[in-house]
Chain A
């Protein structure tokens, strides 16, 4: 035994080679890279579906696809973007950055880490297989919207729904194991002196996100299990004829669903909280209030779910409770926005691509937050419900919020990952085209939504034509702009930008991850650093 240890000690940075390096990996960086590439590929898959949707909606009337196929597109676009893009990207970033930020050599449970990743290609393989079969004329892919309400998904769901159910189970197992791993890493692998209140905010936001995941993914598993038995084994959870209730499905789903939206935003909050201080060259304003605000948002997320169901019907006391509880979330969120702005106040700011994305995040996410406040007012929601206003709201939160956070994080950390600076000119092109096109794409949706255009319908009334045409143009510009991002990432990874990154990378960056060489060594900290 000891001989083996000695022998390895001399060259302990040796990497496994070939395909086995990825298939059998126990390395947090390799697994993080796989997560990020998986997410990137899925981003283009889900994005193409969005372009099918937008192409159909370019003009009123039906032109390109059958309504039946349109439904499959909206469903799969939503599922892929939520479970296949945003969540894996965050887990990938956590894999890469959390061990480096807390001074650990790797994740606490490296083999489980790899299993968490490899379950995803299995799960999405099932889902995408159902689409391929649908394209070949064999049945339909899931077509009931990403929220898969009963009885659309139970009594009226296509045969592929059962594959969808197990696919969700696998995604759930993956997320739960990933979350457990992150919690164990943060609780157990911090370097000496790295107390909880010294952890970078990104680590804190992921710590809290991981608890949300462990709390709600099993509930989602329960919901799809009830769907499975309702569909195949004669139970009547969601069937009033047997004493069940389809509304109960919505309650269970949104008990998962609302914390899920914070799962998709809290890590972005963390990324922004890393980037803004670096480029403002100031410490983050109100560190502890950031931590408490994140925790409050997480807590509140468990008691607001029925704001998605104001028009479904519930006792008035329930409507009021969920309305006021939802409004409360604006307070900790406001604290965060205030702190970011205060961090920039009188800072010595520069505007590299990560900072541009971070500032755009603060503006545009806040717009999404405000429309959220409008939606949470129950009587107003009776008008907005299931219109494009809702679509505009959650795309501001998820695209210019969550996805902008991820893009900011990639630009911010890619020099550390690859040892090379990215191409700043391309980065700026990517930023400006993305930000402008995203607003051309999503802002008009507010107007058509307020005027009553329903979501998830392939046709619309003639008076919505101009705004829809505008949104479609924005969508295609947005979609093809992401190829610049892809090109920039590949160029950087291959070292074709010609600029090497220093260890600190950014002039204003602080933290353990910036003390490691660029590119970061295969195993991060093999001896624990001392944190003062």
Chain B
């Protein structure tokens, strides 16, 4: 692989990865839709889905691998570093807006839809004629049409597992910062130890989330089908969980790269990007803890 010199600028050579990415994503989504459709009719998974997912994995290994090689080869200058930083920051902002859509749905359902279904505002007849007997309380345990969407037996409390998970994630934000301090002083040992602890905390968080989901489905009747409370609960916590999974995976990759000695005190943007991402996931969780579990 060679790099054309453009004066002071770095411009990568032609690359196959964008095309691989397109093929991978297109295959994955066709596979996903076919799987959904066939499973709705009691069928099985479409073969395209695992193929697409494997292609995505190949894409990440290949593309990031190429970037790592270039970075380690000293091809990047300050300007490239700044471009990466700007890119990562605005990517995180786009993620914030993605979660904003779901938080928006939660607030709208709780503040407006709930009261209107119960006859609030000038919607007295909505309550009286369409959904008689519906009580506008959150969390909704009895849905407007409880035969179609059967409400949960009880709501998920904030104390217990969610509180423990809050502590775990907050702690993990601290440990990743300590690891970063170690890295900045070129102390590899604290870097590796604290990073490993962060990964472990992420894994524990995810395990506890699984425990919580099993509990919700098995013991509480709280499912995706149990009305707007279940819908917002599972999509918000589910997407957050997916982000924690991604974040933990990335932290794990950073741990492996740290062990391999990829990072130096002044050249470790990949680590920083993952740390930013991890803090973002943490902040989203605080929103979830307050508005989904607690209030």
Tell whether A pairs with B.
Answer: yes
> A189-B79, A235-B235 in contact; A4/B3 too (CB < 8 A)?
yes
Q: Are A118's CB and B149's CB within 8 A?
A: no
Q: Are A126's CB and B26's CB within 8 A?
A: yes
How distant is the Cα of A242 from the Cα of B5 in the complex, in angstroms? 60
Confirm or deny: A491 has a beta carbon within 8 angstroms of a beta carbon on chain B: no
Q: Are A243's CB and B227's CB within 8 A?
A: yes
How distant is the Cα of A528 from the Cα of B7 in the complex, in angstroms? 8
Return A305 CB to nearest CB of chain B, in Å.
11
Q: Are B140's CB and A243's CB within 8 A?
A: yes
Q: Are B9's CB and A105's CB within 8 A?
A: yes
How distant is the Cα of A315 from the Cα of B74 in the complex, in angstroms? 60
Choose one: B15, B32, B116, B130; the contact of A114 (CB below 8 Å): B15
How distant is the Cα of A183 from the Cα of B83 in the complex, in angstroms? 9
Choose one: B2, B18, B114, B224; the contact of A243 (CB below 8 Å): B114
Q: Show the binding face of B for A, using Cβ within 8 Å.
A: 2-9, 11-19, 21-23, 25-26, 29-30, 32-33, 36-37, 40, 63, 73-74, 79, 82-83, 86-87, 90-91, 93-102, 104-105, 108-109, 112-114, 116-117, 121-122, 130-131, 140, 143-145, 148-149, 223-232, 234-235
Q: Are A163's CB and B98's CB within 8 A?
A: no
Q: Are A122's CB and B26's CB within 8 A?
A: yes
**Complex interface: stretch among A222-230, A353-361, A433-441:** A222-230
Main secondary structure of the interface of B (DSSP, over half): helix
Q: Are B15's CB and A26's CB within 8 A?
A: yes
Q: Mark A209-227, 1 if CB is under 8 A from B, else 0.
A: 0000011111101110110
Contacts A166-B29, A242-B227, A243-B227 supplied; 18 other A-B pairs, CB < 8 Å: A8-B3, A108-B86, A112-B18, A112-B87, A126-B30, A163-B30, A169-B29, A170-B29, A188-B79, A226-B102, A226-B231, A234-B223, A235-B234, A241-B148, A243-B114, A248-B108, A248-B113, A315-B122
How distant is the Cα of A5 from the Cα of B86 in the complex, in angstroms? 27
Return B270 CB to nearest CB of chain A, in Å.
15
Q: Are B9's CB and A235's CB within 8 A?
A: no
Interface size on A, residues (CB 8 A): 82
* Complex interface: chain B residues within 8 A of A21 (CB): 14
Task: For B14, give the chain A residue with the smallest CB separation.
Answer: A24
Confirm or deny: A83 has a beta carbon within 8 angstroms of a beta carbon on chain B: no
Q: Are B101's CB and A12's CB within 8 A?
A: no
* Complex interface: chain B residues within 8 A of A45 (CB): none
Q: Are B231's CB and A218's CB within 8 A?
A: no
Return A276 CB to nearest CB of chain B, in Å.
31
* Complex interface: chain A residues within 8 A of B113 (CB): 240, 243-245, 247-248
List 29 contacting pairs A-B, 8 Å CB cutoff, sorted by A.
A8-B2, A8-B4, A24-B14, A26-B11, A111-B18, A114-B15, A126-B26, A162-B36, A166-B32, A176-B94, A180-B87, A188-B82, A188-B86, A215-B94, A221-B98, A222-B102, A225-B235, A226-B105, A234-B224, A234-B225, A236-B149, A236-B231, A237-B105, A237-B228, A242-B143, A242-B145, A243-B113, A243-B140, A526-B7
How distant is the Cα of A241 from the Cα of B95 in the complex, in angstroms? 30
Return B24 CB to nearest CB of chain A, in Å.
10
Task: For B80, give the chain A residue with the smallest CB separation.
Answer: A108
Confirm or deny: A527 has a beta carbon within 8 angstroms of a beta carbon on chain B: yes
Q: Show the binding face of A for B, using Cβ within 8 Å.
A: 1, 4-5, 8-9, 12, 16, 20-21, 23-26, 104-106, 108-112, 114-115, 117-119, 121-122, 125-126, 159, 162-163, 166-167, 169-170, 173, 176, 179-181, 183-184, 187-189, 214-219, 221-223, 225-226, 229, 232-237, 239-245, 247-248, 251-252, 255, 315, 523, 526-528
Q: Are B22's CB and A241's CB within 8 A?
A: no
* Complex interface: chain A residues within 8 A of B12 (CB): 26, 110-111
Q: Are B11's CB and A244's CB within 8 A?
A: no
* Complex interface: chain B residues within 8 A of A12 (CB): 4-6
Task: For B78, give the chain A residue with the smallest CB separation.
Answer: A188
Best-surrounded residue of B29, B112, B145 (most CB of chain A within 10 A): B29
> A241-B145, A242-B148, A242-B149 in contact; A255/B104 too (CB < 8 A)?
yes
Q: Are A170's CB and B143's CB within 8 A?
A: no
Q: Are A114's CB and B228's CB within 8 A?
A: no
Q: Are A108's CB and B83's CB within 8 A?
A: yes
How distant is the Cα of A104 from the Cα of B7 in the complex, in angstroms? 11
Return B124 CB to nearest CB of chain A, in Å.
14
How distant is the Cα of A526 from the Cα of B11 in the complex, in angstroms? 10
How distant is the Cα of A37 from the Cα of B172 in the complex, in angstroms? 48
* Complex interface: chain A residues within 8 A of B90 (CB): 179-180, 183-184, 214
Q: Are A106's CB and B9's CB within 8 A?
A: yes
Return B152 CB to nearest CB of chain A, in Å.
12
How distant is the Cα of A233 from the Cα of B36 in the complex, in angstroms? 9
Q: Are A235's CB and B14's CB within 8 A?
A: no
Choose one: B16, B17, B94, B230; the contact of A217 (CB below 8 Å): B94
* Complex interface: chain B residues within 8 A of A214 (CB): 90, 93-94, 97
Return B233 CB to nearest CB of chain A, in Å.
10
